[in-house]
Structure 1
C-alpha cells in the first residue's frame, strides 16, 4: 500500500478539505465549527474497517484484478480530484472509468517497461471481477454515507435566488479504504523481484493492498442534514447491490460486466442529479423564522453543546423573553449573566426547556451559529 500514490494523495486531499472548510466557516461566522484536522481524523478509522470486510470478501471469492486496472484507477482518482468534487473520486467513477479504459488499452504496447508488461498481460479482455469490485466498493460507499456521512456537517451561508441570506449544510468527506486484491500473473515481480507470489492450480497470483479513495460532496438546504445524507446513503447502497447482481452474471455473459460498470456510473450520477434537483425545489430549512431563532450550527465544547442543543432546533425564548434575532437573544442573556434558560422547539415541533449556569471560563457566546446578514465584524462585536 505504501507504494501506491493514492495512499499519500488521500492525506493531502483530506488536509486541503479541512483547511478550505475552516477558511469558509471563519469567513461566514468568524469562528470554525471543527478544527482543520477533522477531515484527516475521519480519513482512516472507518475506511480501515470497511477495507477489512471487503478484503475478506475479495480473498474468499478469489477476486483477481489486473495490475493495469489498479494503475488506471489511481490515474483517474488523481484526474477527477482536480474538479474539486469529492464525489467524483468514488469507485463508480474511478474504477468504472478504469474498466472501460482497460478494455480499450489492454494488449496495447507502451514504451515504459513496467507499464508495457502490465497492459500487454491484460490483453484487452473483459474482466467481470472489475465489475464485481465496483459493486462491493459502491456498497461500502453507501454504508459509509449512512454511518459516517452525517457526522459534523459544515454550516454555510449562501444567498438565495431572491437575494435573502440563508443557511445550508455542506458535507465534503473523504475515506481511505485499503482492500487486498489478487493480481494475476507475475507483473509485480518485474519491477520488484522480491514481491511474493503464489500459485493456485496452474495460475500465479500476487497480493496487493490497494488503497481506494471514497469521497462525498453534498449540500443540503431543504431538510435536516442527517436525514438527507441517510436517504442518500440508502440509494447508493441499493445501487451497489443492483450492480453486484448484474456483475455476477458477467462470469457467464461478459456483456453483463460492461452493463454493470455502465450502470454503476450512470446510476451514481443519476442519484446525485436527482438529489440536487430535489434540494433545489425545496424551501430553505435554515432560514429566518418569525417564531424564533433557527440553530444552524453548534460549536463543539461550547455551552450550547453542553446544553445538548441540536442543529435545526428553534429558540423561541431566552430567560423568559421572546427572541427573533441574535440581538434579542444576547440582550435577553444580559438580563442574567450567570444563568441561561432557553425555550426550544425541537425538530419534531415539541417544546422543551434547557438551562445552564454560565461561568467565566465558558465560551464568550453560547456557541450557536445562526443565519445572519453580511456585516463588518471588525466594527461590531456580537
Structure 2
C-alpha cells in the first residue's frame, strides 16, 4: 500500500461511510448480538426473581442492569474499534463467521465456553491443522470452506484475542462495584449463609478491518501493522465479543474475584500481543503458543477464583454476639447512617441483639430514635444514631446474614461467563421472613 500524506476528501468520506455501514449491518445481522443480550437479561431477571424468595422484595432491576451494561459495552466497543481500525487488524469475513459458529457450539456445551477468546483460540488451532492436511476432494462448498479456514490470518486473530482480554480487564474493573446483588448460599455444613452474586457479562460490538471493495486510504503510518490486506481494498466487519465473568461468592468479595480475573487477563493479553508479533517476524509456528496462552489462561483464572473461594472462610456467616449485615439498601435509613456490609450490630438503643427477632424488639423500645453499636470488619466499635421520622421506620434497609433455619439458598457455586444461570435454590416450607428487617418494598436504587 502506498504511503503519503493523509488527506481525507469527499470521496474518501463516502467510502468510509460505506465501510461503516457494512460493519454496522454485519453487527445487526449477527445472531450473537441477540443471543448475548438475551442471556444477559435472563441472568439478571432470574436474580431479580430469586431475591423475592430470599428477602421478600427486589433489589435488582433487570432492564436497568442490562441497559447500563450495554452502555459500558458500547463505550468499550468504540474504543476497541478505534484501536483495531487504526492498527489495521484485518480479519477475514469467513473467520468472523467461524467464530460465531464456534461460539454457539461452545455455548451448547457450557455457557462459560462461549467467551470469544475460546472461539478465537480454536479457530487459530483449526487453521493450523487444516493447513497441514490435504484439501478434500468432496463438494465445492466443502473445499471452499476448507481453504478459507486454512488461510485465516493467524497473527491478526491472536491480536484480536489480546484486545478481547484487555477490554475484559477494563470492563471488570469498572463494573465490579456496580453489578452485584446479595444472596444466600448453603455452606459446607449445609446451613444458609450470606453471599453475593456478580454478573459482569458483556456483549461488546467491535468493528474490524476486512478485505473488501472500498479503495484504501493513503496514511502516513505503516498500515495494516500485521498485514492481511491485498490491493482489492478494505471494508469493515462487525462482530460482538462475549466478555466478562459471573459468579456467586461467599468467601471472596465480588470485587476481589473480578480483580483476580483481571490480573490473569492483563498478563495473557500482553503475552498474546507479543505472540502475534512473533508470528509475523519469527514464523507461524508461534501460533500454537498463542492457542495455549488463550486457553490455559482462561482456565487458570477460573480455577484460581474457585480455589480461593473454597479455601477461604465465609464472610457472611452468622455470629453469636450480634447480627451481621449482608447488605444495605441504597437510599435507606441504614444507608444514611453509614452502615456497611460485613459489619456486626451488637446493641440497638442499649439493648443487646443476637438475632433478627432481638433487633426488632430493640427497635420497638424507642420507635423515634435508633442508636446502634456497630463493629466494622476490622473489629473497631463505633456508635451511630439517627432520629426515625414518620415513614422511615418502614425503610430501615438492613439485610442480615440468615440466622434462622428454613431459608432458601443456592445449592452450588460457579464462576465464569453467564454461570449464575446455573444456580439452583433449595427452598423450604419453613418461614424465612425474619432474615430481612424493614426494607422498602420498592427501593429507588439498584444494588
1:198 aligned to 206, 215, 221, which one? Answer: 215
- 1:65 Cα deviation after fit: 0.8
Counterpart-to-counterpart distance in 2, 1:288 and 1:199: 65
What SS does the corresponding residue of 1:171 show, helix, strand or coil? strand
- 1:37 Cα deviation after fit: 2.1
- 1:238 Cα deviation after fit: 2.2
Counterpart-to-counterpart distance in 2, 1:109 and 1:183: 29
> Is the 1:47–1:175 Cα contact (8 Å) retained in structure 2?
yes
1:353 aligned to 344, 364, 383, which one? Answer: 383
1:289 aligned to 319, 325, 328, which one? Answer: 319
1:174 aligned to 201, 218, 228, which one? Answer: 201
Alignment of structure 1 residues 73-222 onto 2, 5 Å: 73-82=99-108, 85=111, 87-104=112-129, 120-125=147-152, 127-184=154-211, 186=212, 197-199=214-216, 202-222=231-251
Match of 1:310 in 2: 340
Alignment CA distance shift 1:98-1:278 (3 Å) = same
> Is the 2:115–2:243 Cα contact (8 Å) retained in structure 1?
yes
Counterpart-to-counterpart distance in 2, 1:25 and 1:227: 23
- 1:342 Cα deviation after fit: 2.0
- 1:378 Cα deviation after fit: 6.7
> Is the 1:312–1:347 Cα contact (8 Å) retained in structure 2?
yes
Structure having greater relative contact order (Cα 8 Å, sep ≥ 6): 2
1:368 aligned to 398, 406, 409, which one? Answer: 398
Deviates more, 1:51-60 or 1:230-239: 230-239
2:77 aligned to 40, 51, 55, which one? Answer: 51
Establish whether residue 335 from structure 1 lines up as the match of residue 365 from structure 2: yes
- 1:79 Cα deviation after fit: 3.3
Match of 1:263 in 2: 293
TM-score (norm 1): 0.86
What SS does the corresponding residue of 2:299 show, helix, strand or coil? helix
Counterpart-to-counterpart distance in 2, 1:116 and 1:319: 80
- 1:20 Cα deviation after fit: 1.0
- 1:83 Cα deviation after fit: 5.5
> Is the 1:314–1:344 Cα contact (8 Å) retained in structure 2?
yes
2:269 aligned to 240, 245, 268, which one? Answer: 240
Q: Deviations over 1:144-195 (max 9, x none)?
A: 11221232422221222222221222212321212120112x4xxxxxxxxx
Alignment CA distance shift 1:109-1:48 (3 Å) = farther
> Is the 1:88–1:215 Cα contact (8 Å) retained in structure 2?
no
Stretches of structure 2 lacking an aligned partner (at least 5 in a row): 1-26, 218-229, 408-428, 438-447
Root mean square deviation of aligned Cα: 2.8
Alignment CA distance shift 1:177-1:341 (3 Å) = same
Query: Which structure has the larger Rg over C-alpha atoms?
Result: 2
What SS does the corresponding residue of 2:67 show, helix, strand or coil? helix
Q: Deviations over 1:31-62 (max 9, x none)?
A: 22212224312331111222222222211211
Alignment CA distance shift 1:374-1:7 (3 Å) = same
Counterpart-to-counterpart distance in 2, 1:64 and 1:205: 9
- 1:143 Cα deviation after fit: 1.9
Counterpart-to-counterpart distance in 2, 1:34 and 1:110: 54
Stretches of structure 1 lacking an aligned partner (at least 5 in a row): 187-195
Count of matched residue pairs: 370
> Is the 2:322–2:354 Cα contact (8 Å) retained in structure 1?
yes
> Is the 1:318–1:332 Cα contact (8 Å) retained in structure 2?
yes
2:63 aligned to 12, 33, 37, which one? Answer: 37
Alignment CA distance shift 1:30-1:104 (3 Å) = farther
- 1:82 Cα deviation after fit: 4.1
